[in-house]
Amino acid sequence: MYTLDKAKKEVIDALFSALPPDSDVSDTDLSRPPQADMGDLSFPCFGLAKALKGNPAAIAKDVAAKITPSGLVGEVRAVGPYVNFFFNKKAFATSVLEDVLGHVNKYGDAPRNGEQALLEYGSVNTHKEVHVGHLLNVSLGLSIGRLMNAAGTKVVHVKYIGDVGAHVAKWLWYYDKVRRGEVAGRTTLTEHSEMVQFGKIYTEATLLAESDEEKYKPEISAVLKKLEAHDPEWGDLWNRTRESCLTQINALFAELGIHFSRTYLESEVEGPGKELVKELLAKGIAKEGEKGAIIVDSEAEDLDVFLVLKSDGTALYSTKELALAGLKFREYPETSRSLHVVDNRQSLYFKQFFATLKKLGFDKPMVHVSHDFVTLSEGAMSSRKGNIITYEDFRDQMKAMVLEETAKRHADWDEDKVSKTVWMIAEGAMKFGMLKQDTDRPLTFDMAAALSFDGFTGPYVQYAHARLSTILAKAEGETVSVCSAVDDPKEFALLRMVADLPQAALIAARDFRPSLVAQYLFELAQASNEFYRDVPVLSADPGDRARRLAVIAAARVALANGLFLLGIRAPEEM
């Protein structure tokens, strides 16, 4: 149990001793006062006043008078209708330092809870480009996975790649018709990768297909049927181009520090999905619709009709994903639930999908973790329309902007050090910018703002970490003291914020909200910078110096661990 949890338990126990026997109090009733001089934890008496038919301020005064401070609680005061608790600064600070310096990179992690969860994200399509919308998805998925893991759940990261289907048939149809021989078939990630070129081909294919649907739709449908029938000629072209895409997709994810335990492909569940549709028909769960398509009637659940197989017998996304659900749990039988990080356009689909699985007797909890979009100034991006900002172009623009600033600041650095630092900052700016707001709202990403060393940005938090690292590097080898009394209010204020990391991480994991950790890190960075500015460390007397080095070491650990939870690295120098 971390220090703040211990302190809350002491406060709850103290409240129980002072309240009527049938009172219901939990740590969710406790909050942090808006100002530090008002205390460290606050308990509102409005609910008690209603139950006891009394005045909230009078009740607060009575409760405070009945509590004798002890342990981590140093003082109790009634402030209007609130009972405010002030921590024993020495005891609390010492305990926090022991927590942090005893756990280091595991500080903030909860004990294992015995649960295993499958987390699916990064489910991009082959034969298209990877764009900034995908960056939001993978940043969110990686962070949620790390948060859940820190909260005690073993997380298995998986991705589900769309390597077959209508979009692939359209791409192959157009490539064979117009562009055959123009793509070299490279299988390594380059500055201008084939994924970008493939995306352009997909846009061209869409424009041609839409120019005369009556003429071209049957041609594309014929290609799709041949692919699903494993026609060798089309299969060879599909496999060769698909492998190039998969290699580059994996390289992009590795670049972002994302490693999946399992990659599922639509092609491997296409056949099983069609067999499962037959089972749905046999059980009366599905039926043939008016135009010959196979549907599941979900109107009883107010979910309308769920299409599971096209009228021409070709598979849909739903056909394949129904089979995928079973495959996942067969391969990972210890898994208790499966989470899908997918944009909110698919909300109805997932409700229909989960409802259909229940009708099949599937009893494993399935969760759709939805998010909104990264938007352009002129509107939403679309591969079909071709108004895509590719991830690679976006990344390279960010790196170029960081490189210019880093070169100015560190003319003495060698090329390798500059390159590594530039990428850490650019990656941090991209991920933090994607995660700092709640994902139920559209995000308009401003590159210049995201790269600022001031304000609510990744580089601002990273720079706070680098500053503290510089101080500790200058004092390398010195002993840091955990036992000295806290001497300066700013020392306690910084450690009080450090103590909040485990709870911030736990709530963020529970609610799938990395934005809570981003906000926490911003406030901790602000407090760290104020400490750096106002409190002497290296020039302090030996006793103060040792203690303050410990305070700085704790803050640096909290910044690094919080950044890790967002999938961001913490530079030692910037």
Better-predicted residue by pLDDT, 525 or 394: 525
pLDDT tops 60 at residue 264: yes
How many CB atoms within 10 Å of residue 469? 20
Amino acid 382: pLDDT: 53
Instruction: Kindly list the distances between the CA atom of residue 205 and the CA atoms of 131, 196, 210, 385, 505, in Å, as whole numbers in the listed order.
Output: 18, 14, 9, 11, 45
Where is 85: in which H helix or E strand?
strand 82-87
Instruction: Please give the sequence-ordered ranges of beta strands (E in DSSP) within 320-450, or none if there are none.
Output: 337-343, 366-371, 374-375, 443-444
Cα–Cα distance between 64 and 54 in angstroms, integer? 16
Element (H, E) at 157: strand 154-161
114 band by pLDDT with thresholds 50, 70 and 90: very high
Binned at pLDDT 50, 70 and 90, residue 386 comes out as low
Q: Give the pLDDT mean for 223-235.
A: 94
Whole-angstrom distance, CA of residue 3 vs CA of residue 100:
10
Euclidean distance between the first and the last CA atom of the chain, given in angstroms as a whole number: 35
Averaged pLDDT for residues 195-199 = 85
Average pLDDT over residues 546-556: 95
For residue 24, which phi and psi values (nearest 5 degrees)?
A: -115, 110
| pLDDT of 384 | 54
Higher pLDDT residue, 188 or 6?
6
Report pLDDT digits (tens) over 21-47.
Answer: 888 888 899 999 999 899 999 999 998
By percentage, how much of the chain surpasses pLDDT 90? 79
Strands (E), 246-350: 262-265, 286-288, 294-297, 305-309, 337-343
* pLDDT at 351 > cutoff 70: yes
Instruction: Tell me phi and psi for residue 346, to 5 degrees.
Output: -95, 15
Give 392-414 pLDDT, tens digit per residue: 988 999 999 999 889 888 989 99
Q: Give start-end residues of each CATH 3.30.1360.70 domain in the chain.
A: 3-87
Contact between 391 and 196 (Cβ < 8 Å): no
Q: Boundaries of CATH 3.40.50.620 in the chain? A: 121-265+332-375
pLDDT at residue number 181: 61
Instruction: Pull the structure tokens for residue 559.
Output: 């910044």
Residues with Cβ within 8 Å of residue 326, at least 6 apart in sequence: 276, 362
- The values of phi and psi at residue 205, to 5°, are -60, -45
Q: pLDDT at residue 380 above 70?
A: no
- Average pLDDT of the chain? 92
CATH class of the region 121-265+332-375: alpha beta
CB 461 within 8 A of CB 559: yes
Q: Is the pLDDT of residue 298 over 90?
A: no
Q: How many Å apart are CA 289 and CA 297, to the nearest integer?
A: 10
Tokens of 343: 């944009």
pLDDT band at 448 (very low <50, low <70, confident <90, very high): confident
Q: 283, 281, 358, 277: which is closest to 315 by C-alpha?
A: 277
Portions of the chain given CATH number 1.10.730.10 = 391-565
379: alpha, beta or left? (left if phi > 0; alpha if psi -120 to 50): left
pLDDT category of residue 385 using cuts at 50, 70 and 90: low
CA nearest neighbour of 374 among 441, 430, 442 = 442
Contact 420, 427 (CB under 8 A): no
Lowest mean pLDDT: which of 105-119, 160-174, 176-190, 297-311?
A: 176-190
Q: Check: CB of residue 540 under 8 Å from CB of residue 460.
A: no
Least reliable range by pLDDT among 141-155, 321-335, 398-412: 398-412
Answer positive or negative: Cα dihedral of 331, 260, 340, 127: negative
- Of 64-78, 113-127, 445-459, the least confident: 445-459
Amino acid at 132: V
Answer positive or negative: Cα dihedral of 419, 123, 436, 522. negative
CA atoms within 13 A on the CB side of 82: 16
**Closest to 326 (Cα-Cα) out of 410, 393, 264:** 264
Distance CA 403, CA 425 (A): 10
Residue 142: count of CB within 10 angstroms of its CB: 27
Maximal C-alpha separation, the chain = 85
Q: Would you state the structure tokens that stand for residue 59, as one six-digit string?
A: 């009740």
217 φ, ψ (degrees, to nearest 5): -60, -45
Q: What is the mean pLDDT of residues 447-469?
A: 95
For the cut 50, the answer to whether the pLDDT of residue 187 exceeds it is no
Q: Which residues of 408-431 are buried (b: 16+ CB within 10 A; e: fewer)?
A: eeeeeeeeeebeebbbbbbbbbbb
Strands 154-161 and 262-265: parallel
Closest CA to 168 of 108, 245, 102, 115: 245
Tell me: pLDDT of 138 over 90: yes
Average pLDDT over residues 373-391: 64
Flag whether pLDDT at 189 surpasses 50: no
Residue with tokens 């046999």: 282
Mean pLDDT of 56-74: 96
The closest alpha carbon to 274, from 306, 308, 305, belongs to 308
**Is 1.10.730.10 the CATH number for 391-565?**
yes
Q: Where is average pLDDT lowest: 158-172, 193-207, 559-573?
A: 193-207
**12: helix, coil or strand?**
helix
pLDDT digits (tens, 9 = 90+) for 300-325: 888 989 999 999 999 999 999 999 99
Residue 352 has pLDDT above 50, yes or no: yes
DSSP 1: -
pLDDT at 196 over 60: yes
pLDDT of amino acid 79: 95
Pairing of strands 154-161, 286-288: unpaired
For 382, list phi and psi in degrees, rounded to 5.
-155, 125
Mean pLDDT score, 230-258: 93
E strands in 336-449:
337-343, 366-371, 374-375, 443-444
Are the C-beta atoms of 140 and 360 separated by less than 8 Å?
no
User: In angstroms, rounded to a whole number, what is the distance separating the alpha carbons of residues 154 and 335?
Assistant: 9
**pLDDT score of 186 more than 60:** no
Q: Is 296 strand, coil or helix?
A: strand
Band of pLDDT at residue 376, cut at 50, 70 and 90: low
Q: What is the pLDDT of residue 182?
A: 62
Q: Work out the pLDDT band at 378, boundaries 50, 70, 90.
A: very low
Tallying the residues shown for the chain, one arrives at: 574
Reply yes or no on whether the pLDDT at 498 is more than 90. Answer: yes
Tell me what pLDDT residue 277 has: 96
Mean pLDDT of 234-247: 93
User: What fold does the segment set 3-87 form as a domain?
Assistant: Gyrase A; domain 2 (3.30.1360)
Q: Residue 184 is which amino acid?
A: A
